Amino acid sequence: MSGERERTPRIACLAWGSLVWDPRQLPIRREWFKDGPFAPVEFTRQSSDDRMTLVIDPSARPVRVLWALMLPTDLQIAKEALRDREGITGSDSLSRIGSWDRGDMAPEDIPDLPRWGEDRGLDAAVWTALRPKLGTEERSPSIDEVIGHLRGLSGTARDHAKEYIERAPRQIHTDYRRQIEATLGWSCRDDF
């Protein structure tokens, strides 16, 4: 016996949207780091409350995402915790949570994840793996469709959509965000 203590696994949660300013019960250490890997994210998913949310979109330009350390040290428990925070349900709900474990191949949408994770002494990472959607169609909407959708909102739905876009972290400076800011005036108020 060498007397060395076994190192506790370190799992990162990658984020680019509401997880940063509204983690709720997500079991993370409360600090978000701004030096995450690059991932192609864009405001291309219409949520159930009509917001246009940030999701991984293979057609988007990659941006540097944020990350925090998870409190769970078991990858399966970390995935379940993120799924629960995101309110993802259904028999295939865990398939909508992406994960990387040290030694795995790089995920297609986050090719530098293994190198990035190893450079930070991480053993695994999890992220929300929802895809683009407009209405019932699972596809990437054009910027004109997104702006048209946002312009058509009113009342509480409009307020929530505006808040989501304005509160998205400043570094998630996507092509669609620039167009939304220019057209609708919904500018970042990065207050986390």
Q: Which of 4-8, 17-21, 67-71 has the weakest average pLDDT? A: 4-8
Residue 1 located in a structural domain: no
Q: From CA 151, how far away is CA 149, in angstroms rounded?
A: 6
Over residues 47-65, the mean pLDDT reads 97
Over residues 11-24, the mean pLDDT reads 96
Amino acid at 1: M
pLDDT surpassing 90 at residue 94: no
Question: 102 burial class (0-12, 13-18, 19+ CB within 10 angstroms)?
Answer: middle
What does DSSP say about strands 38-46 and 62-64: parallel, antiparallel, or unpaired? antiparallel
List, edge to edge, every strand of the sheet that includes 62-64.
Answer: 52-56, 38-46, 62-64
Q: Is 28 helix (H, G, I), strand (E, B) or coil?
A: strand
Over residues 95-123, the mean pLDDT reads 95
Nearest to 33 by CA among 95, 154, 122: 122
The pLDDT confidence band at residue 192, using thresholds 50, 70 and 90, is low
Give the structural domain span for 22: 11-184
How do residues 98-111 score in pLDDT, each as one tens digit? 999 999 999 999 99
Residue 111 located in a structural domain: yes
Residue 6 located in a structural domain: no
Beta carbons within 8 Å of 12's beta carbon, 6+ residues apart: 36, 67, 68, 69, 70, 117, 120, 122, 124, 125, 126
Amino acid at 187: S
Amino acid at 4: E
pLDDT surpassing 80 at residue 48: yes
The partner residues of 53 in beta bridges, in order of sequence, read 45
Residue 177 located in a structural domain: yes
Which pLDDT belongs to residue 4? Answer: 56
Residue 166 located in a structural domain: yes
Percent of the chain with pLDDT over 70: 96
Beta carbons within 8 Å of 73's beta carbon, 6+ residues apart: 8, 9, 10, 11
Residue 37 located in a structural domain: yes
In the chain, the number of structural domains is 1
User: Model's pTM, two decimal places?
Assistant: 0.93
Residue 190 located in a structural domain: no
Residue 169 located in a structural domain: yes
What does DSSP say about strands 52-56 and 11-15: parallel, antiparallel, or unpaired? unpaired
pLDDT, the chain, mean: 94
